[in-house]
Chain A
Amino acid sequence: MSFLNPLFLFGLAAASIPILIHLFTRRRPRETRFPSLEFLSEVNRSEIRRLKLRQWLLLLLRTLAVAAIALAMSRPAVKGTLGPARGAATTVVALVDQSGSMGATSAGGTAIGEARRAVEGLLATLGPEDEMLLVPYDQGPHPFSARPIADAGRLRAASQALVATARATDHARALEFAARALAESHALNRELFWISDFQATGFGAGAGGVGAGAWRAPAGPWDRARVYLMPFAAAHRANVGLTDAALEPSESGAALGVSATSYGGPPGDLSVEVRDATDNAELGRGFLPMPEQGDGSTLLPLARLPQQGGVAIIPDDALALDNRRVFAAGHAGAARVLLREDGPPSPLRLALEAGSPASGLEVTTVDATALPARIAEADVVVLDDLARMGPIEEQAVLDFHRAGGGVMVVLGGRADPAFWNGSLLRELGVGAIGPVEQAPAGAVWRLKRAIAGHPALAGFPARPGEPLSTAGFHATRALDMSAAGGGAGRGGASGAGRGGAGARVAGAARSAARVLLEFDRSRPALVEAPHALVFTAALDAQASDFPVSGAFLPLIHQSVKVLARGTAAASLTPGDRYTAPAGTGTWRIDDTSGHEVPSELVAESGATRLRSAPIEQPGLYRVLKNGALRNTFAVNPPAEESDLTPLPEATLIAGFPDGRAQVLRPGADLTRRVREARYGRELWTWFVITALMLLVAETILARWGLGARTGAETPA
Chain B
Amino acid sequence: MDGVGMSAAGARAYLDPAVVARLSHLDVRARLVVEGFIAGMHRSPFHGFSVEFAEHRPYMPGDPLKNLDWKVWARSDRLLVKQYTEETNLRCHLLLDLSGSMAFRSERAAMSKLDYARSLAAALAYLMLHQQDAVGAMLFADKPLRYLPARAVRSHLDELLKAIGGLEPQGRTKLGPALHELAERIKRRGLIVLLSDLMDQPAEVLLGLQHFRHRRHEVVVFHILDPDEIEFPYTDTATFVDMESGDRLTTEPWEIARRYRERLAAWSAQYARVCRENRIDYVRLDTRTPFDQALLAYLEKRARLL
Contacts and interface: CB of A to CB of B under 8 A. Distances in A.
B241 A33 contact: yes
A40 B256 contact: yes
A713 B238 CA distance: 20
A31 B244 CA distance: 15
B250 to A, nearest CB: 5
Interface string A253-279: 000000000000000000000000000
Contacts of A709: 235, 253-255, 257
A81 interface: no
A32 B234 contact: yes
A34 B104 contact: yes
Contact of A715 (B242, B255, B264): B264
B239 A35 contact: no
Contact of A705 (B236, B240, B241, B254): B254
A715 B238 contact: no
Contact of B260 (A39, A55, A712): A39
Contacts of B247: 37, 41
A709 B235 CA distance: 6
Nearest to B254: A709
A31 B243 CA distance: 12
Contacts of A711: 257-258
Interface string B214-245: 00000000000010011100111111111111
Interface stretch (A43-51, A667-675, A686-694): A43-51
Contacts of A26: 237
A69 to B, nearest CB: 26
Given A34-B242, A37-B247, A39-B267, A29 B260 contact: no
A711 B237 CA distance: 16
Interface string A48-63: 0001001100000000
A706 B265 contact: no
Interface string B44-55: 000000000000
Given A709-B235, A716-B265, A35 B260 contact: no
B303 interface: no
B263 interface: yes
A710 to B, nearest CB: 7
B197 interface: yes
Contacts of B243: 33-36
B261 A715 contact: yes
Contacts of B255: 47, 51, 54, 705, 708-709
Contact of A34 (B230, B241, B252, B269): B241
A35 B237 CA distance: 18
A710 B254 contact: yes
A40 B240 contact: yes
B131 interface: no
Contact of A32 (B101, B240, B268): B240
Contacts of B257: 708-709, 711
B229 A35 contact: yes
A30 interface: yes
A38 interface: yes
A40 B254 contact: no
B240 A51 contact: no
A42 interface: yes
A25 B238 CA distance: 10
B199 A35 contact: yes
A714 interface: yes
Contacts of A39: 260, 263-264, 267
A38 B265 CA distance: 14
Given A708-B255, A710-B235, A44 B249 contact: yes
A43 B259 contact: yes
Interface residues of A, number: 34
Given A36-B242, A40-B249, A30 B258 contact: no
Nearest to B112: A35
B251 A713 contact: no
B262 interface: yes
Nearest to B197: A35
Contacts of B101: 35-36
B263 A31 contact: no
Contact of B237 (A29, A44, A46, A706): A29
A706 B231 CA distance: 15
A705 B235 CA distance: 11
Contacts of A54: 255
A36 B240 CA distance: 9
Nearest to A34: B240
Contacts of B241: 31-34
Given A41-B249, A708-B257, A30 B267 contact: no
B263 A32 contact: no
Nearest to A39: B263
Q: Could you say which of B230, B242, B252, B269 has the most chain A C-beta atoms within 10 Å of its C-beta?
A: B252
Given A38-B199, A716-B269, A31 B230 contact: no
Which bucket holds chain B's interface residue count? Answer: 35 or more
Contacts of A38: 199
Contacts of B113: 35
Nearest to B250: A29
A35 B249 contact: no
B99 to A, nearest CB: 9
Of B197, B243, B261, B268, the most chain A CB neighbours within 10 A belong to: B261
A693 to B, nearest CB: 24
A35 B263 contact: no
Of A35, A38, A713, chain B has the most CB atoms within 10 Å of the CB of: A35
Contact of A37 (B102, B249, B252, B262): B249
Contacts of B252: 51, 55
B238 A47 contact: no
Contacts of A716: 265, 269
B240 A25 contact: no
A40 B259 CA distance: 9
Contacts of B249: 37, 40-41, 44
B239 A30 contact: yes
Contacts of B234: 32
Most A CB within 10 A of own CB, among B229, B256, B258, B264: B256
A375 to B, nearest CB: 111
Given A35-B229, A715-B264, A706 B104 contact: no
B154 to A, nearest CB: 35
A708 B254 contact: yes
Interface string B191-225: 00000010100000000000000000000000000
A46 B251 CA distance: 12
A30 B236 CA distance: 8
A709 B245 CA distance: 27
Nearest to A44: B251
A51 B257 CA distance: 12
Nearest to B269: A716
Nearest to B226: A35
A713 B258 contact: yes
Interface in B260-292: 260-265, 267-269
Given A35-B197, A40-B251, A715-B264, A25 B258 contact: no
Contacts of A55: 252
Contacts of B258: 708, 711, 713
Contacts of B267: 39
A40 B229 CA distance: 11
Contacts of A46: 259
Given A32-B234, A40-B249, A711-B258, 5 more contacts: A29-B237, A39-B260, A43-B260, A710-B235, A715-B265
Interface of A: 25-26, 29-44, 46-47, 51, 54-55, 705-706, 708-716
6 contacts: A29-B238, A35-B102, A35-B226, A43-B259, A47-B259, A712-B231
